[in-house]
Structure 1
Amino acid sequence: MKAVIMAGGKGTRLRPLTLNTPKPMVPLLNRPCMAYIIDLLKRHDIHQIAVTLQYLPDSVRDHFGDGSEYGVQLVYFEEDSPLGTAGSVKNAEGFLDETFIVVSGDALTDFNLRKAIEYHKSKQALATMVLTQVDSPLEYGVVMTESDGRVSRFLEKPSWSEVFSDTVNTGIYVLEPSIFNWIPEGSPYDFSLDLFPALLQKEERLFGYTASGYWSDIGNLTQYRQSQFDMLDRRVSVNLAATEVMPGIYLESDVKLPARIHLNGPAYIASGCKLHFGSSIGPYTVLGEGNTVHSSTKLERTIMWNGNYIGEHCEMQDSLLMNRIIVGSGAQLDEGCVIGSGCTIGAKASIRSNVRLWPNKTVPTNTTVHDSLIWSNEASKPLFTSRGIVGVPNVDIHPERAGKLGAAYGYTLPSEATVIVANCSHAYSSLLKDSFVSGLRSIGVHVIDIGICADEVTRHAVRNRSAHGAVHIKIQLDHQHAPQAVLSWMDGQGWPIAKSAERKIENAYFQEDYVRCHAEAVGSWRQDAYAVNQYLAALAKELDWSTARTSSLAYVLQLAPSVDLDLVQRFSAAVGGRRLIIQDSAFDAESLAALIQQTHSDVGIYVGDDLQLQMVTRSGSILSDDGLMHLIAYALERTGVPAVLGVPASFSIGIEGERIGRTLRFVRTKESLRSVMEATAGVPFCPLSHRLYAIGLLLQLFADESNTVEDLLHKLPESYTAKEIVPCGWHEKGILMRKVMEWVRSDGQQVELLDGIRISGDDGTVLIMPDADEPLFQIFAHANSSIGAERLAHDYASRLFQSHQTLRK
């Protein structure tokens, strides 16, 4: 049996650890990560090993040589340019003339590989993916298998709404040599992104084997620390290069311990370390080779590499130090610090939580460092929510952060790119915009500032001006909650940016590896005061309000505080008719209905935050989302323009593929606004992202029809929806989705996995969806009656709740 160790990874998310060290060479308890993979292969009688190299290849080759010191034979295959995971293995095709196993050199695992190989052979598989179960599957490839183990679905790095299991791809594969027929020569090709989807499409024998045991891909600094803590706790079966001299205390040779020292395990101390009298080594401390720790210094949950000098009376908590660092007496390193190689920290200096120092930096005596020098990692959770980047103004979202976000965004754009920026009427949004623009221009990005306007205007402007993207900044006010700053990103089409673009911005922001331009090359800035007028003109061109101006139509518009009042007033003036416009924070159907009656109006429409629209009749009835979509579609169909409307997955099953007249049909999409806008075609504005366009269509319909609003509503298809919410932990979402899939299989129900899990039956449909922004599940039920929908939602919510309670026990 032969194996391939993929050892070309850069480990970008582990920086600065991997600036000058390839990820497979990053030490775990004083041994390179890849050494444990070689041990694992050798333990399973696999001695002939190909090693693929790309990033800093000499570091791997110089350390491991031909493998003889490890009792194996290593043959190296180096890429001149990145070929992807599958392409790199293709490089070793001449060496791999039998069934072989592929393992990442930058992961830590104790899986029983023999069982995986036997499983592969028993299934006569072309390829077998080794799988495991994790708490949060967002950074991995989620895999679903049939009862016989055949892979039926695979999704790389899903969002929460796309998660259908907690079972993920570990990057360990058992393959037949004929797999090389599927991999092109000399061009980038990836197992997860290219090869496995191709095998699935052609219905080849692709299987998944769920292994038991420990596995970590060490994808970030938190996992890097935790993997070593797990090794100290003996949660993973690996060979350590030290002796356990007392419970939980592991010492290599030539460690000098003083007569008096505080040792609290588990802890690991490598050879050549010198610990002075009265020093304190607390739990989960790992010291590499040749470290010196002076008296009265306290270390806890701290990891050091090699050759560091720590003065007396220092304190370090949950810190990570690389090589050859000098820490002066009395210095303090707070939780989450990362100190690059060659840094000098002066006496009594203080490094605050989560600060990263780039290699070879100097911190003077008595200095406090609050922010990273070149490198930082401010948050472990993603920046982006389904609404963009959201936070409390001047607390979470402040001018300094806005500037960094602008620079990070600009770094991801092409050279000489142009970006549209806009803000709401709140004074603080203007302050944030100014800082954001400074960040963009410092990268060399050109800026067109369209001033104070709604995000719908910004969507229109970015397309009209052929810009690369746009950012709209607004402050949302609600008397019942704290205000929120919302930064909304748009691409050149005016759509919310793709998940891949969000990840690029997040990586640039957290790693701060954006390069600012020369002073002579800063981006230009100019104002454009015509965006609002152009947007209103575009609406007027697409809508016919001649009847509304002469009809007796009367309506009430209620606006949330953050909605652009001036824009709505100008729009409604163009529409005509008798109207009342009020701006209030909360939507109250009864109050709105009372206003409709008092003003003898025909209908009331609430325009809320985040593109929310609600319609209320004179009797106080609230039109459902399905009903409103049908009404908008009916109005659009009357224009005679052939069109397709994207509809979010949570809408009623009854509208999937449904046609309205001869010119309009619905297409079900994922829940995200981007998916809806991508699917919508044939109309100048997507009604779900351009509320004034939707309102204009409705008012045009009400004015043209001889029937009352209530009569029109009676013509709509009946649709009954109920919704339930089930709270859960973030880490429990994946396993609960797997439990739901197990119900579906055992019950033999029809299922759709477009977004969340949609279950269809004779009594209706249920959509079970993990929320993208909160630790909870949303359950949408659709049935032929309100009672039926409520019963369905309640039944599935109860079932999910019971599974959640069982999981916690």
Structure 2
Amino acid sequence: MKAVIMAGGFGTRIQPLSSSKTKPMLPVVNLPMIEHVINAVKKGGITELVILLYFKPEMIRNYFGDGSEFGVNIKYVLPEEDFGTAGAVKQAGEYLDDVFLVVSGDLITDFHIDEIVHFHNNKNSAATICLTSVEDPLQFGVVITDKTGKILRFLEKPGWGEVFSDTINTGIYVLEPEILDYIPQNKVFDFSKDLFPLLMSKDITLYGYKASGYWRDVGNPSSYRETVMDILRGKADISIPGKLLEYQNSLFYSSGSYSCEDVLLEGVVVFGNNVYIGGKSEIINSCIGSNVSIGNNVAISESIIWDNIDIGDNCILDNCVICDNVILGKNVYMKNGGIVAENTEVGDFVVFEKDILVWPDKQIEEDSILSSNLIWGDKWKKSIFEGGKVSALTNVELSPELAAKLGAAVGSILPNNCYVVVSRDYHTASRMLKLSFLGGLLSAGVNAYDLRMSSLPLAKLQMSLKGAEMGIHFRQSGTHDKFAEILFMQKTGIPIDAPIEENIERVYFRESFRRAHHEDIGEIVDVTDSHDVYIKNQAEKIHTEQLKLKKLKLVVDLFNGTTTGIFPRLLNMLGMDTIILNAYRDQKKLAKSYRNINNSIEEIEKIVVTLNADLGLIIFQNGEKFRLVTSSDGALNTVSTVFLILKMVDMTTEKKMKAYLPVMLPNVLDRELKNIRVERGKSVGVKPEVIQEYDLYVDAEFNIAFTSYSFCPDAMYNVVKILEMLSSLEMSVENVLAMIPDFYFSHNVISCPFNKKGTVMRKMSEYSENLETFFMEGIKIRYNDQDVSVILIPDQYSANLHLYVESGNKDTDSDFALNLKEKIYKWIQE
């Protein structure tokens, strides 16, 4: 007999615990939940298993392998789509030629599996459903049986008015193989909603076996905590890993090394491996994972501590879950419960006022008081912005309610009756968030020019033409398909600065919104001519006749973005011979993974060569970024593109010009340019009054802007300028690139906890004492004897460091990067 374990769920209801782990892999008394299921199945005499995967399949597969280390034989099935519970089991049909058990991988039970199977066989049943009684049956399928166990009535997830029993479907089934014939192939089909009603309609008798013992559907964070506590209190006959040791009056289980002298243990306490607890601490009815360090005078009760945790002195934790890779500072107070998800740092003297949920990758500053769930944003302080942008999980963290509140906060800091420009991409989430935001904005007496679907360059042009106080753009993230972003722009089009962010945040957190009188509520003005205005504006700034004389053959990939309605028109106006790719709307492609982007680049490289085109162009989704593709060099990186433009401007300009470059951009062209004076400065927080002093401005992401046109990068304008300069020079891109000296440049992102950044930068400063060093932004070191420059800059928003290395030799560049990374990792560990 075989058992099918369903382990493909997303675990949405149990977030944030499932943010980095698939739900069946959540630790329950220091073992993955699904391992307890496997143990129960094995105890029932079944060792042949089929595990159905879907979400994060590698996590389960890597842990269990073929099952031999766990005393079972495992086959894995990974459906191509989410076909529902029964539909997924159908995918495993090739392994199911005899009676088989189906059980969920995300429940905890001590039911005797062999008794369920024995009942099924005695009844000669086609399908048997394991039943149990619960206090709250609303989340489950309610079932009524007769005295023989025959199921008379079945209702999936009723409302209270529909409840007819406290006996529910546990999600454990014993099925004959012919039942698979009633499940369609490659279609969404569920046991409770579809299969069982279908079988009953065909007069196929279903039996229910009412099991005795412990059963818990671990569906949300509360049930997770309660399940673990039930096991510790002995309510469930679940095996606890580790060796049972005598320690004071507690039941103490340990799976490895530990140190807990002068520590009080009470109730049932479970340790993983490598656990250290400081003196005068007490641990009561709690699970402690592996690689955990707990300070002195710490009180932990009825809590679950995962792996790789550092807890400071004098902390109090009651009814808490602390996930992997969390650092708690000293004197953290979580007396009223709480969940802290992975990769979070909590500063000293932080107070959790009630049962707070903190989502992953957060930074909570010392002395903070958390009174509500910290779902989004990387830092808990007065900061919800990252460089003028709000970015979070769509409709989970960044919800319509939050967008409306944010709109009211923005409106409250702006002058009464002023105008802002509002735009979006074509993703349905962007439309939803924009509409919600507008409600809050209008309530504060602020008007909006609504461009509806628009690329960022068009929106920024409209801001300038209409004298708007601010611009707000809603879009799908280009790197995270589940994230939405809201961009906030000053009058000049650049991101809002820190003082504006702080004003918005102050109103947002205090909820001190301005409410306009009912006669003064803002209005929405639809803007319908933005494309025509943009084309006209471009035509006035470009030598179109010169371009038409040199008709170039172009291959253009618009990446299913927001420029599809305008860039082809612009190129047509210029008389280009153009082949356009991906010029249709597809919201699934608005957020392309890096892998897919690389695949797209490879495709256009092949097309450019095949068609012998003069140039390939990739215009990214929102119209700010672009890539050039040549037949000989392929797709140019951003640094080479900046240098290409600088070189061409230098060769075509009739006046002396100034260019502002960030400090980490290579210096190879600084002395080569004859008509452009290069000046370098910091990459973030550059003010408009500084940018306006320069003819060319390169931002932190190496996007270039012609400031006489805009302070912001505009991919379409930049591409046309490149075409114009190529026409004037009567040269190809390859010809210009050949005039740029060889250089090698690498950018390395190094993970570093926030509390280690200062230490690493200090170590870097000490390391550079006898070298030529600059401190304009981060630390720059110049090795004159080897013609190498190194810059180390801490990331402003994430737990990362950025290491840039420039050299005239590829091997030297790689060696320096490797050696410095090794030093930095060592400094982080010290």
User: How high is the TM-score relative to the length of structure 1?
Assistant: 0.52
The 5-angstrom pairing of residues 319-468 of structure 1 reads: 338=353, 380-381=379-380, 382-386=383-387, 388-468=389-469
SS at match of 2:726: helix
SS at match of 1:517: coil
Residue 633 (structure 1) aligns with: 646
Residue 777 (structure 1) aligns with: 801
Residue 613 (structure 2) aligns with: 601
Residue 571 (structure 1) aligns with: 570
SS at match of 2:581: strand
Q: Over residues 119-158 of structure 1, what are the superposed CA-to-partner deviations in whole Å (9 max), with x where a residue is unaligned?
A: xxxxxxxxxxxxxxxxxxxxxxxxxxxxxxxxxxxxxxxx
Q: Distance in 2 between matches of 1:386 and 1:581?
A: 33
SS at match of 1:566: coil
Q: Distance in 1 between matches of 2:727 and 2:529?
A: 30
Q: Distance in 2 between matches of 1:629 and 1:636?
A: 11
The offset of 1:317, in angstroms, is 3.5
**Which one-letter code corresponds to 2:719 in the other structure?**
I
The 5-angstrom pairing of residues 513-528 of structure 1 reads: 513-528=512-527
Paired residues of 2:554 and 2:614 also in contact (CA < 8 A): yes
SS at match of 2:644: helix
1:617 aligns with 2:618: no
- For structure 1, the residue ranges without an aligned partner over 5 or more in a row are 1-232, 234-245, 250-263, 268-281, 287-299, 304-314, 320-334, 340-350, 355-370
The offset of 1:285, in angstroms, is 9.5
Residues paired across the two proteins, number: 462
The offset of 1:729, in angstroms, is 1.4
- CA gap of 1:655–1:388, structure 2 versus 1, over 3 A, is farther
Q: Distance in 1 between matches of 2:790 and 2:555?
A: 35
Out of 762, 765, 776, the residue aligned to residue 738 of structure 1 is 762
Paired residues of 1:376 and 1:512 also in contact (CA < 8 A): no
SS at match of 1:592: helix
Q: Distance in 1 between matches of 2:536 and 2:813?
A: 43
Q: Distance in 2 between matches of 1:802 and 1:740?
A: 12
SS at match of 1:560: coil
The 5-angstrom pairing of residues 652-667 of structure 1 reads: 652-656=666-670, 658=671, 660-662=673-675, 664-667=676-679
The offset of 1:338, in angstroms, is 4.9
SS at match of 2:767: helix
Q: Distance in 1 between matches of 2:338 and 2:741?
A: 60
The offset of 1:543, in angstroms, is 1.5
Q: Distance in 2 between matches of 1:402 and 1:652?
A: 40
Paired residues of 2:388 and 2:501 also in contact (CA < 8 A): no
The offset of 1:387, in angstroms, is 6.7
Residue 773 (structure 2) aligns with: 751
Q: Distance in 2 between matches of 1:285 and 1:398?
A: 30
The 5-angstrom pairing of residues 27-38 of structure 1 reads: none
**Which one-letter code corresponds to 1:759 in the other structure?**
I
- CA gap of 1:684–1:621, structure 2 versus 1, over 3 A, is same
- CA gap of 1:447–1:477, structure 2 versus 1, over 3 A, is same
SS at match of 2:467: coil
1:651 aligns with 2:649: no
- CA gap of 1:336–1:769, structure 2 versus 1, over 3 A, is same
**Which one-letter code corresponds to 2:414 in the other structure?**
L
Residue 64 (structure 2) aligns with: none
Q: Distance in 1 between matches of 2:603 and 2:374?
A: 50
Residue 317 (structure 1) aligns with: 337
Q: Over residues 385-428 of structure 1, what are the superposed CA-to-partner deviations in whole Å (9 max), with x where a residue is unaligned?
A: 24711122212222111111111122222343321111112232
- CA gap of 1:618–1:377, structure 2 versus 1, over 3 A, is closer
Q: Distance in 1 between matches of 2:746 and 2:385?
A: 29
Paired residues of 1:417 and 1:446 also in contact (CA < 8 A): yes
1:804 aligns with 2:828: yes
- For structure 2, the residue ranges without an aligned partner over 5 or more in a row are 1-262, 264-278, 283-295, 300-313, 319-330, 340-349, 359-369, 583-588, 696-706
SS at match of 2:476: strand
Identity %: 20
SS at match of 1:482: coil
Q: Distance in 2 between matches of 1:704 and 1:606?
A: 23
Paired residues of 2:555 and 2:615 also in contact (CA < 8 A): yes
Q: Distance in 2 between matches of 1:302 and 1:709?
A: 62
Residue 761 (structure 1) aligns with: 783
Residue 161 (structure 2) aligns with: none
**Which one-letter code corresponds to 2:778 in the other structure?**
G
Q: Distance in 2 between matches of 1:434 and 1:476?
A: 18
SS at match of 2:565: helix
Q: Over residues 583-640 of structure 1, what are the superposed CA-to-partner deviations in whole Å (9 max), with x where a residue is unaligned?
A: 3741344322211012220121222357333222102434343331122123334253
The offset of 1:799, in angstroms, is 1.8
Q: Over residues 160-197 of structure 1, what are the superposed CA-to-partner deviations in whole Å (9 max), with x where a residue is unaligned?
A: xxxxxxxxxxxxxxxxxxxxxxxxxxxxxxxxxxxxxx
SS at match of 1:668: strand
Q: Distance in 1 between matches of 2:427 and 2:281?
A: 58
Paired residues of 1:387 and 1:488 also in contact (CA < 8 A): yes
1:472 aligns with 2:473: yes
Paired residues of 2:449 and 2:525 also in contact (CA < 8 A): yes
Q: Distance in 2 between matches of 1:506 and 1:474?
A: 21
Residue 598 (structure 2) aligns with: 587
**Which one-letter code corresponds to 2:619 in the other structure?**
V
1:507 aligns with 2:506: yes
The offset of 1:467, in angstroms, is 1.4
Q: Distance in 2 between matches of 1:650 and 1:679?
A: 18
RMSD between superposed Cα atoms in Å: 3.7
The offset of 1:724, in angstroms, is 2.0
Paired residues of 1:405 and 1:436 also in contact (CA < 8 A): yes
Residue 548 (structure 2) aligns with: 549
SS at match of 1:792: helix
The 5-angstrom pairing of residues 22-421 of structure 1 reads: 284=316, 316-317=336-337, 338=353, 380-381=379-380, 382-386=383-387, 388-421=389-422
